[in-house]
Structure 1
Amino acid sequence: MAPLLDDAAIDTALDDLPGWERDGDTLVRTAKLSSFPAAIAVVDRVAEIAEDRDHHPDIDIRWRTLTFRCSTHSAGGITEKDVALARSISEQIDAG
């Protein structure tokens, strides 16, 4: 199991994750895409990444607005796995 990050490590990670914030034991980012198909394309790419890593975000889809939540449930909070996944999600959002 991945070790939990302490508050200082999470704050440092968030400094390098524009658009992400902490909500308790979760990293959260909401993004608006140009269209519903563009949003679903991002979700599809994130799904592939998550499957490869066996680490899956919670995803809320509202038309062209996506909200991603990353937390390592088995560890009870935020781990390096969540930070790495958040970085990859940001890359997919930025790619549109």
Structure 2
Amino acid sequence: MPKDQVLGPDAIAARLADLPGWREADGWIIRTYRTHSWKGTLMVINAVGHLAEAAWHHPDLTASYAWVEVRLTTHSAKGLTEKDFALAKKIEDVVGWQPGLEGGALEGTPSDPRFAYIKHDR
């Protein structure tokens, strides 16, 4: 399937099944990341910005003190395409990463609220 072909409702539902926390509304896929503070919000915005720029596919972002909403659609195709789901997956992998759960050399952020920044929903 060409990467700019608009996906139908069944294909969208199938791809969303692999992206917990994401939903479809009005031709967009949307995810809200909850953070502990403005610091966490900025970290999410910067991570998403880096990934979007590297992918050359740009989301709409809305932010407040303790949350960031990421909205993806392919404007040139006027709908949802493989590009949107590929970028959503990469964003989810990076923003949702919890190295402390992997048991490797990286222990992850402490549970102390002074250092927490993302409110993981899994």
TM-score of Structure 1 vs Structure 2, range by shorter chain: over 0.9
Q: Distance in 2 between matches of 1:65 and 1:49?
A: 18
Aligned position for 1:92: 94
Aligned position for 1:52: 54
Report sequence identity in percent: 35
How far 1:38 moved relative to its partner? 1.2
Task: Report how many aligned residue pairs link the two structures.
Answer: 96
Q: Which has the higher strand share?
A: 1
- Select the structure of larger CA radius of gyration: 2
How far 1:88 moved relative to its partner? 1.6
Higher RCO, Cα 8 Å, sep 6+: 1
CA contact (8 A) 1:30 1:68 kept: yes
**What secondary structure sits across from 1:87 in the alignment?**
helix
Q: Report the residue type matching 1:30 in the other structure.
A: T
Please give the TM-score of this superposition, normalised by the length of structure 2.
0.74
Which ranges of structure 2 fall in alignment gaps of 5 or more residues?
98-117
Q: Distance in 2 between matches of 1:49 and 1:93?
A: 10
Q: Deviations over 1:59-88 (max 9, x none)?
A: 001111110100001000000000011112
* Structure 1 ranges of 4+ moved more than 6 A: none
Please give the TM-score of this superposition, normalised by the length of structure 1.
0.93
Aligned position for 1:27: 29
Aligned position for 2:44: 42
How far 1:90 moved relative to its partner? 1.5
Q: Report the residue type matching 1:77 in the other structure.
A: G
> What pairs with 1:5-20 in structure 2 (closer than 5 Å)?
5-20=7-22
